[in-house]
Amino acid sequence: MKLDMAEERSGGRRRRRRSRPVAEINVTPFVDVMLVLLIVFMVAAPLLTVGVDVDLPKTAAGALPSETEEPLTVTLTAEGAIVIQTTETPETEFLTRLRGIAQERADDKVFLRADGAIPYARVMQVMGAMNAAGFGNIGLVTDLGGPTFDGSGG
């Protein structure tokens, strides 16, 4: 009986070919999962922005830099209601609630959003109450793109 060349080299014993393990990663499932997550976040992101509908006046002022702590927002609606974050607050409880919030927060920054139809005197009353409650750093929120004093119109 004759031995073929491979058997002669191995000393007369037959060698079996062993299959090597596949060292490639199949990325298709990962891509599928990432696309599903992308779609979920694209659909969910607009739903996370809740707030009170207010027609803000337009100015030429720039945006304020963002902070690490979520800023406290007080809103005056066109109907005259006072809203702290997303909770409507009666005028009689406004100062008490603000004082309680001021004790819990490390930052005294508060943003005031007032509808353009609200009289200036009312806005100043609310700002005075916010100052009396311990919030000395009050920022007025406006929309961008309003008129400027140099006549450029924004």
β-strands 82-84, 58-59 pairing: unpaired
Alpha helices per DSSP H over the chain: 5-9, 28-48, 91-104, 120-132
Q: Which domain holds residue 86?
A: 58-144
Tell me if 82 is assigned to some domain.
yes
| Residue 76 resides in a domain | yes
Q: Using an 8 Å Cβ cutoff, are 54 and 75 in contact? A: yes
Residue 15: inside a domain:
no
Verdict on whether the full-model pTM lies above 0.85: no
What is the average per-residue pLDDT within 5-22? 64
Residues contacting residue 43 through CB under 8 Å, at least 6 positions apart: none
Asked if residue 5 has pLDDT above 60, the reply is no
**pLDDT value, residue 33:** 93
Q: Say how many domains are in the chain.
A: 1
Classify strands 87-89 and 143-144 as parallel, antiparallel or unpaired: unpaired
Euclidean distance between CA atoms 62 and 18, whole angstroms: 69
Per residue in 22-67, pLDDT (tens digit) is 778 888 889 999 999 999 988 888 777 666 677 777 777 666 555 5
Q: What is the pLDDT of residue 103?
A: 85
Does any domain span residue 1?
no
| The pLDDT value given to residue 4 | 54
Output the domain CATH number for residue 72. Answer: 3.30.420.270
Query: pLDDT tens digits for 58-103?
Result: 777 666 555 566 778 898 988 888 998 888 888 888 888 888 888 8
Closest CA to 88 of 77, 102, 101: 77
Residue 32, pLDDT score: 93
Beta bridge partners of 82: 76, 89
Mean pLDDT over residues 13-20, rounded?
70
Is the pLDDT higher at 149 or at 49? 149
CB-based contact 126:82 (threshold 8 Å): yes
